[in-house]
């Protein structure tokens, strides 16, 4: 990949720093080897998963395990596992790419993600060498399946309030676990469990690797769920379960930190997975729209349907642009940490931790994009979309959990703001300096700004103003609300939405500009239409979220002044979005599949 010599961007720094197209990775930059892995993943889904979707949803005994076994034979379960432990040792962005294509597999995608992500990674990153040597090779091949036991009946988003207890035996050789976990994916067939519990009266959790067939481990029957019916979801009970002391991960009291870091990885992986699902649902939608005829012609010829198809593409394209941008940022940070002397596990965790806010952004953006795509997919199918006979119906049901998985979207919105502000308070990001500068602008005549030439020149100006909006509102909120800001959830979510839309807008702009530099403007008319339409639409959304936030904590003349600034910062030139969407939809319709 071609990159500039500019110092690598830090997590959250996108708010205060301009990025060039050459600094980001785009899906067009994937290598031949990475493309082969994506094709292998897609062929696996087509051959092994899609023909078995009904049987999986009916929980045919042994079927999910057998498909995971086949994935293990191909190396798909060990993509992120080092070669010396039986894996393929691929970088982070490659694992995201495979996750995207395997994300087309409905319930299988959930089982795959739970096994390779939250099931395997705590051990890989925090286990002793002996523990890793004992279990990781089995997990990489699929001989053993993994599960992650964090949530409890009284501890969901507040995971550290869990009541599962661990007590050291008098001989000091074992911990005895007692407690209950719920909503545990893969529990019905897992061989190894990552279990979080508090030792005695500790304030923080510790983490243990527990063999699922240990004496005292019992399961409730399978949960009946709205969607992802083929994934095993059961309650797990621990009744005086003896766990060797060497099966603790990291150190005593480090479990909560482990949980947070693994969830950060899960969030960006979820974004990649739902992106695959969204592309698949878009392809299903356009195929039906081309086949279905009403009033003498296929419904794909009607403007109302073309709007939906084009918007499905825009939602997919923007999320995709941001996902692989973050993935490469994480890979670059990992590479630098390795050069600085960190071991591989420490380096990976450092990379993820650096971009934890962006991981939260993508989790929200991806899950909500998928929800939009499948919802409009059902609408395109009409009455057939409500029938269990249609492929879009399963997608609609399966989508809904993603706004709850890996921390609810509400929690992730608030975490986005919290994590960025924490960096500012630690001196890692200078947010208040730029925020004060924007506040000063409100009192002066706007200066003319030199914008780069090209077809997206206006959008560069809009992007700079979106960032000013974010700085103005977040800066004012920190100054005025101070210690009470963390309790103002509505305001935090307004700020988070502005951050999410700004990040997706910038990622899309840079991707399209990079493509134009390689292929020329004439070859990128569809991509230009996507970028211009997204910016035009999102400016109004930012304006509304900004007004909602400002009117919640600012008053009088100051409010009027800030609202005038907001209006200036979200002003755009007019765009013929109907023509743009017609252009986008036409390419989708002509190809009869997702080709962006």
- pLDDT tens digits along 286-303: 999 999 999 999 999 999
Residue 252 covered by a domain: no
The predicted structure's pLDDT at residue 447: 72
Rounded CA separation 375/421 (Å): 34
The predicted structure's pLDDT at residue 370: 98
pLDDT at 95 over 70: yes
Rounded CA separation 278/268 (Å): 15
Q: What mean pLDDT value characterizes the chain? A: 95
The predicted structure's pLDDT at residue 4: 42
Q: What is the mean pLDDT of residues 231-248?
A: 98
Out of 353, 376, 406, 513, the active site residue is 406
pLDDT at 448 over 80: no
Q: How confident is the model at residue 7 (pLDDT cuts 50, 70, 90)?
A: confident
Q: Determine whether 406 is an active site residue.
A: yes
Taking each helix axis from N to C end, the angle separating 303-339 and 255-291, rounded to the nearest 10 degrees, works out to 150
Q: How confident is the model at residue 5 (pLDDT cuts 50, 70, 90)?
A: very low
Q: How confident is the model at residue 280 (pLDDT cuts 50, 70, 90)?
A: very high
What is the reported pTM? 0.95
Q: What is the separation of C-alpha 315 from the centre of its chain, rounded to a whole number of angstroms?
A: 14
Residue 90 covered by a domain: no
pLDDT at 245 over 50: yes
Residue 437 covered by a domain: yes
The predicted structure's pLDDT at residue 135: 98
Residue 13 covered by a domain: no
Q: What is the mean pLDDT of residues 447-473?
A: 92
Q: How many CB atoms lie within 10 A of CB 293?
A: 11
For 257, phi and psi rounded to 5 degrees? -65, -40
pLDDT at 114 over 60: yes
Listed residue (205, 198, 201, 210) closest to 255, CA to CA: 205
pLDDT at 120 over 80: yes
Residue range(s) defining the domain that contains residue 521 = 426-591
Q: What is the mean pLDDT of residues 22-26?
A: 96
Q: What is the mean pLDDT of residues 181-201?
A: 97
CATH of the domain at 530: 1.20.140.10
The predicted structure's pLDDT at residue 3: 41
For 443, phi and psi rounded to 5 degrees? -95, 0
Rounded CA separation 437/163 (Å): 48
Listed residue (213, 202, 212) closest to 252, CA to CA: 202
Q: How confident is the model at residue 453 (pLDDT cuts 50, 70, 90)?
A: confident
The predicted structure's pLDDT at residue 443: 83
Q: How confident is the model at residue 6 (pLDDT cuts 50, 70, 90)?
A: low
Q: How confident is the model at residue 56 (pLDDT cuts 50, 70, 90)?
A: very high
pLDDT at 204 over 50: yes
Q: What is the mean pLDDT of residues 406-428?
A: 95
Residue 367 covered by a domain: no
- Report the range of poorest mean pLDDT among 16-25, 294-303, 442-451, 482-491: 442-451
Residue 224 covered by a domain: no
Residues 6+ apart with CB under 8 A from 572: 458, 462, 535, 536, 539
Residue 513 covered by a domain: yes
Question: Which H/E stretch holds residue 185?
Answer: strand 174-185
E-only strand ranges, 245-342: 248-249, 293-294, 297-298
Q: What is the mean pLDDT of residues 87-96?
A: 95
Q: What is the mean pLDDT of residues 540-544?
A: 98
SS3 content of the chain, % helix, strand, coil (to 5): 65, 10, 25
For 45, phi and psi rounded to 5 degrees? -60, -45
The predicted structure's pLDDT at residue 1: 41
- Report the range of poorest mean pLDDT among 323-332, 376-385, 392-401, 443-452: 443-452
pLDDT at 91 over 90: yes
Domain count, the chain: 1
Instruction: Tell me the per-residue pLDDT of 571-592, one tens digit each, with 9 for 90 and over.
Output: 999 999 999 999 999 999 999 9
Residue 440 covered by a domain: yes
């Amino acid at each position: 990949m071609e990159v500039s010599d500019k110092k690598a961007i830090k997590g959250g720094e996108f708010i205060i720093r301009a990025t060039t197209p050459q600094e980001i990775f785009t899906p067009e930059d994937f290598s031949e080897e990475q493309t082969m892995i994506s094709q292998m993943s897609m062929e696996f889904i087509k051959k092994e998963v899609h023909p078995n979707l009904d049987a999986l949803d009916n929980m045919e005994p042994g079927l999910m395990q057998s498909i995971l076994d086949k994935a293990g034979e191909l190396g798909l379960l060990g993509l992120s596992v080092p070669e010396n432990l039986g894996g393929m040792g691929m970088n982070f962005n490659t694992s995201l790419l495979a996750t995207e294509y395997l994300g087309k597999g409905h319930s299988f995608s959930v089982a795959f993600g739970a096994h390779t992500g939250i099931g395997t990674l705590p051990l890989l990153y925090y286990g002793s060498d002996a523990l890793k040597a004992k279990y990781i090779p089995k997990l990489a091949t699929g001989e053993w399946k993994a599960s992650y036991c964090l949530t409890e009946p009284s501890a969901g988003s507040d995971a550290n309030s869990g009541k599962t207890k661990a007590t050291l035996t008098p001989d000091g050789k074992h911990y005895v676990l007692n407690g209950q976990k719920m909503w545990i994916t893969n529990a019905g067939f897992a061989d190894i469990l990552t279990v979080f519990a508090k030792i005695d009266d500790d304030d923080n959790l510790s983490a243990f690797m527990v063999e699922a067939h240990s004496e005292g481990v019992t399961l409730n029957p399978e949960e009946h769920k709205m969607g992802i019916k083929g994934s095993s979801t059961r309650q797990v009970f621990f009744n005086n379960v003896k766990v060797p002391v060497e099966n603790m991960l990291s150190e005593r009291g480090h479990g909560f930190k482990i949980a947070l870091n693994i969830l950060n990885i899960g969030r960006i992986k979820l974004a990649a997975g739902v992106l695959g699902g969204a592309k698949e649902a878009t392809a299903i939608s356009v195929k039906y729209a081309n086949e279905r005829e009403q009033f003498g012609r296929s419904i794909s010829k009607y403007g109302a349907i073309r709007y939906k198809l084009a918007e499905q593409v825009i939602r997919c394209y923007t999320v995709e642009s941001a996902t692989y941008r973050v993935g490469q940022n994480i890979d670059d940070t990992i590479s630098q940490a390795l050069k600085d002397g960190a071991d591989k596990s420490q380096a990976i965790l450092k990379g993820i931790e650096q971009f934890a806010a962006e991981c939260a952004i993508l989790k929200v953006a991806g899950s909500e994009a998928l929800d939009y795509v499948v919802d409009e997919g059902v609408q395109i199918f009409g009455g057939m979309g409500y029938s269990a006979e249609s492929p879009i119906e399963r997608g609609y049901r399966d989508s809904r959990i993603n706004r709850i998985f890996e921390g609810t979207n509400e929690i992730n919105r608030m975490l986005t703001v919290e994590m960025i502000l924490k960096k500012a308070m630690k001196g890692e990001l200078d947010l208040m300096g730029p925020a004060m500068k924007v506040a000063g602008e409100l009192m002066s005549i706007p200066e003319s700004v030199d914008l780069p030439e090209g077809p997206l020149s206006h959008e560069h100006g809009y992007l700079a103003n979106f960032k000013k909006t974010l700085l103005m509102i977040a800066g004012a909120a920190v100054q005025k609300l101070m210690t009470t800001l963390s309790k103002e959830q509505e305001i935090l979510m307004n700020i988070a939405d502005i951050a999410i839309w700004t990040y997706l807008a910038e990622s899309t702009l840079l991707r399209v500009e990079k493509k134009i530099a390689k292929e020329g403007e004439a070859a990128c008319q569809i991509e230009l239409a996507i970028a211009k339409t997204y910016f035009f639409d999102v400016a109004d959304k930012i304006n509304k979220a900004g007004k909602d936030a400002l009117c919640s904590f600012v008053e009088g003349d100051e409010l009027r002044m800030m609202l005038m600034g907001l209006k200036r910062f979200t002003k755009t030139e007019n765009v013929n979005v109907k023509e743009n969407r017609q252009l986008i939809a036409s390419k989708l319709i002509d190809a009869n599949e997702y080709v962006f």
